[in-house]
Structures are given as structure tokens and as C-alpha cells.
Amino acid sequence: MTDVLGTPVRVAVRDDAPVLLISDLHVPVGGGAVLPALQTALDAARSVGARVVVLGDLFDTYVARRQVTVGVWRDVAAMFAAAAANGTGIEVLHGNRDFLLGPEFERASRASLVRGGLRLRTGGTETLLVHGDELCQNDLPYQRAKRWLRNPLLGAIVRRLPLVVALRLAERARRRSRAVVRFGDQTRFLPTGAAIDAAFGTGVQRLVFGHIHRFAHGRRGAGEYWVLPAFDEAATGLLLRGGGVEPVRFSRGGGFEGVPVPGPLPLTDGGGPTSTLPPAGPAR
């Protein structure tokens, strides 16, 4: 187990089956259009024998373990369980909105939860998958809050909250986050070049992440990075097969349509994780 910018990285079992990557579905309390889009993506994955990795923020909010027994959380778990029964393996990375997803979701969905990043080797290329929030080292308020929000004791308490209380809490957090995203300084939500270098420093040649809701592809040094767009906006994924990466959309018939390769991110190079972050300690 290695780690990148505080995110533990699990090394996946090596196999050369195709892998479909999607990210940031933000499935809302009310369900809606993202659910049929997700089903179409799962069907497309099945048609080529691909396993599926969700790179975090599957749900708009998930805080308490009782959520998996109701509403949209139960429906998504059932959809994944049906896909698993059809032979489609699914791995779900924790995002910043659903990092409290726990074993109850694994049991209900038959998906495997990854509490951090996932490293895999496809077509001879070492590839690192992370949600991407750890790369946005200039977002200091977020990185500070993350330190106490991820406290395991706090998480254990919140996960046991009664459903009504948990949902109210989650909704308040979402409203605040939306306000920050709308009015805040936008550049701080981009990954830093130093953070991307740190990811390549773990020995991978390819990095894939989501979180910033901005489809992108670029190179940095000897490495290649891809940023997945938010699935609830673009219904776009990346198909890793035969050593290559194909940006794809999903057709109703159960196949893939090609999508043009996007351009690079405007990376900020000033400061790195060590120079921009205050020393670890009790945060606000």
C-alpha cells in the first residue's frame, strides 16, 4: 500500500480485461436522468466484458449507513447488484461527497469499495485512479476541513445517525458547498502541477481523476493525465482497453460512441503540497 498526498492507494489484481471509468455521478436524492444513463453505461460495459470503476462522488450525499435501505441509494445498490449478477465487476472509489459509504453498501451492491486510490496496470501502462480532491492543493479551506471531516471517530458517529437527521445534515453541507463553488475563487479548484507530479512520483505513467468536473487530457513530463467530466452532466467515460484510452459515450443499444479527446488543464505550478499547506494539526 502506497499513498499519494494522504490518499492510500490500493494495487488492483492485474488482468487485461477492459475497464470502464466514470466519475462524479452525484446521484441526487430524487434520482432523475442520471439513473437511466448509468444503466446504459453498465450495459455498454457488459457488452465488451469491461469491469467498471467509479472514481468517486457516485452519490450527491451519503452520510449514514441506513441510507442504503431507502430511496435512490437502495436503487443504485440494486442496479449494481444486478450488473454483478450479469458478470460486471464494479469498484467504487470514495469521493468527497460519499466518503462515508461503508460495508453496508458493498453488501447491498456487490461492488467493492476503494477507500482511496486504485492502481492498475492495463496494456503495460501503470495507471493511477484517484478521485482528485487531493490534487487540488490550493483549495486550502477544503483541505483543512477534509482533515477533520475524515476523522474515523466522527465518521463512525455520523454513520450511525438516524436517517432524517443524516439527510438534513447532508443537505446543509451540500448547500454550503454549492455556494462556495458558485462564488469562490475558481482557480483554487484546479489541481496543482506539483500534486500531479507527486502522483506520477509513485511510479505510474498514467493518472486519471475526476472531482473538478472538467473533461481534460494532457501530458506532464513523461506522464499522461486524463480528467473525467461529471457523469451527470456529460454521460461520458473512459474505456481502457488494448493499452489505449478511449473517451466514450454510451448508446442506448448497449455500445460505445467515440468522443473527441479534450485539451489540457491550465495547471498552476506555484507552490506545492508542502509549501501551500500549513502543518498538520487540529483544524477549525
Stretch that binds Mn ion, among 51-59, 103-111, 113-121, 187-195 (CB under 5 A): 51-59
Closer residue to Mn ion in complex, CB, 88/143: 143
Closer residue to Mn ion in complex, CB, 139/224: 139
Residue type present at position 227: V
Neighbouring CB atoms inside 10 A of 154's CB total: 12
Rule CB under 5 A: is residue 213 a binding residue for Mn ion?
A: no
Rule CB under 5 A: is residue 96 a binding residue for Mn ion?
A: yes
Stretch that binds Mn ion, among 70-78, 91-99, 144-152, 170-178 (CB under 5 A): 91-99
Rule CB under 5 A: is residue 237 a binding residue for Mn ion?
A: no
Q: How far is the CB of 204 from Mn ion (least distance, A)?
A: 21
**C-alpha cell, 211:** 472531482
Rule CB under 5 A: is residue 7 a binding residue for Mn ion?
A: no
Rule CB under 5 A: is residue 98 a binding residue for Mn ion?
A: no
- From candidates 95, 117, 237, 273, binder to Mn ion by CB under 5 A: 95
- From candidates 26, 206, 211, 213, binder to Mn ion by CB under 5 A: 211
Closer residue to Mn ion in complex, CB, 51/211: 211
Q: How far is the CB of 23 from Mn ion (least distance, A)?
A: 8
Rule CB under 5 A: is residue 117 a binding residue for Mn ion?
A: no
Give the CB-nearest residue to Mn ion: 211
Q: How many residues bind Mn ion (CB under 5 A)?
A: 4
Closer residue to Mn ion in complex, CB, 67/96: 96
Rule CB under 5 A: is residue 57 a binding residue for Mn ion?
A: yes
Using an 8 Å Cβ cutoff, are 44 and 250 in contact?
yes
Rule CB under 5 A: is residue 232 a binding residue for Mn ion?
A: no
Using an 8 Å Cβ cutoff, are 109 and 80 in contact?
yes
Q: How far is the CB of 180 from Mn ion (least distance, A)?
A: 13
**Spatial strand order in the sheet of 117-122:** 2-4, 7-11, 117-122, 125-129, 206-209, 223-227, 216-220
Rule CB under 5 A: is residue 119 a binding residue for Mn ion?
A: no
Stretch that binds Mn ion, among 70-78, 141-149, 205-213, 242-250 (CB under 5 A): 205-213
- Side-chain-side CA neighbours of residue 178 (13 Å): 9
* Residues binding Mn ion (CB under 5 A): 57, 95-96, 211
